[in-house]
Amino acid sequence: MRYSFRLAELLGHVPDPRKRPGTIKSIVEYTGLDRHQVAALLKNEVKYIPLKALSRLCDFLIEHGHCSADKLPGALFSIEPENFWELLARRNRLQLSLGVRRELDQDNPDVCYVVASDSVLLGEILNGVTTLGGTAHYRESGQMGDTNSTLVPRPEHVKQSLVWSPGQAAQEEVLERANSVYEEFSESSSDKALVCIGSTKSNPVVELILASAFGCEPYQTQDTVNKAIDRKVPFFIRYRDQDPQPPSCVGGTQLSQTEKAEKPGIYYEDAKGKWVHVSWEGPGQDAAFVFYIHRESHGRLEMTMGGFSGRGTRLLASTLARRGEDFWPPVYEGQGIQVGAYIIQYSVSKDQHQAKDILRTDLTGDMNVIPISGEAIDRRMVI
């Protein structure tokens, strides 16, 4: 069992350097600790802390109203997750975001809907969080070996947030709703997770998570960069001609000004800077992605996942149900941040791509989970 140091969470110390009003300076002046040590504590990067320093930090938190004396020093420590589902289940507050569509030629505002494949994926996420991917029973019955196995973590609060999919309302309304959902999450109390279901084609909040993680502008195409290696996000969703094609930091129709992306699907950058294509080929092949960024010291997890197509999303739901462990451990750890980034390649048998199978939720196929290299993440990570 590993513990993390949650000083940043108690202080409300956010990752954005523009929103850090002298936090480190005030702690240094009060406690007498070294500035670099305080910065490391805020990033959960210290291996030990002297008792004297811990005492001074507790005094600072009490005097400045960040925590009551009866909760310290325990409130400064939390158990780190040890698998993918525990990463979500250990959050106190879980917020789920889905894109909504509607029949634009109807006047009734109540006629709107969530795409069926997204609802299937939502169901598997809720199932995985509440059952820890099917292992909660064994933990509760003490069959998993350690003395803490009966303590099954679960979120105390679960909230769903609906946003307009691109093209389903005026662009200003689409962006305003997405921005308000993300801002509400960012400003809420810590120990929280935001999970966005769908790609940028269906859920604009995906843009905000990726833009925040990699320091780029949301809703702005990067198809015009000089070379693909200059793209801010290490994976790329190449739209089909018939797809909605909203301007996106992760989606588009070409890798760069000099490098084409002739075939639809998901591209990702490998450790050597080469962009690899994971194909979507009508009936036979499909693709999906899972991305998360976890700031344990801030009590903040942001995650997005979806398929290239509706079928890819249903295949991803099946993957989560059977092989959630494939999305752990994170591919990148540094500066107090953990990042998981995975592209999933599917090959589907002929008997599972008929029109009548569109309602099947148990799709299976040959699958390859591809972790995006830590080097590709590190080249772009904004701390």
| Domain around 41 | 3-79
Are 75 and 91 within one domain?
Answer: no
Q: How high is the pLDDT of residue 13?
A: 73
pTM, to two decimals: 0.83
Residue 382 pLDDT greater than 90, yes or no = no
Give the residue with greater pLDDT, 122 vs 333.
122
Which one has a higher pLDDT value, 282 or 60? 60
Q: Number of structural domains, the chain?
A: 2
User: Is residue 60 one of the residues assigned to a domain?
Assistant: yes
Give the pLDDT confidence of 309-368 residue by residue, as tens digits.
Answer: 999 999 999 999 999 999 999 999 887 789 999 999 999 876 655 555 667 777 777 999
> Within a 13 Å sphere around the CA of 198, how many CA atoms are in the beta-carbon half?
24
The answer on 370 and 288 residing in a single domain is: yes
Q: How confident is the model at residue 104 (pLDDT cuts 50, 70, 90)?
A: low
Q: What is the per-residue pLDDT across 75-85, written as a single tens digit (0 to 9) for each?
A: 888 777 778 99
Q: Kindly report the number of other CB atoms within 10 A of residue 137's CB atom.
A: 12
DSSP characters over 274-335: -EEEEE-BTTTEEEEEEEEEEEGGGTEEEEEEEESSHHHHHHHHHHHHHHGGGG-S-SEEET
- Is the confidence at residue 21, as pLDDT, over 90? no
Res 225: pLDDT: 96
Q: Is 271 inside any structural domain?
A: yes
Q: What confidence tier does 94 reach under pLDDT thresholds 50, 70, 90?
A: very high
Q: What is the pLDDT of residues 259-298, one digit of tens each?
A: 999 999 999 999 999 999 999 987 789 999 999 999 887 8
Q: Which of 13-22, 106-115, 171-180, 356-365 has the highest mean pLDDT?
A: 171-180
> Quick one: what percent of the chain has pLDDT higher than 70?
89
262 and 304 part of one domain: yes
Residues 134 and 108 in one domain: yes
Instruction: Give me the helix-helix angle, 23-31 and 35-42, nearest 10°.
Output: 120
Residues 119 and 179 in one domain: yes
Select from 79, 111, 143 the last residue of a domain: 79
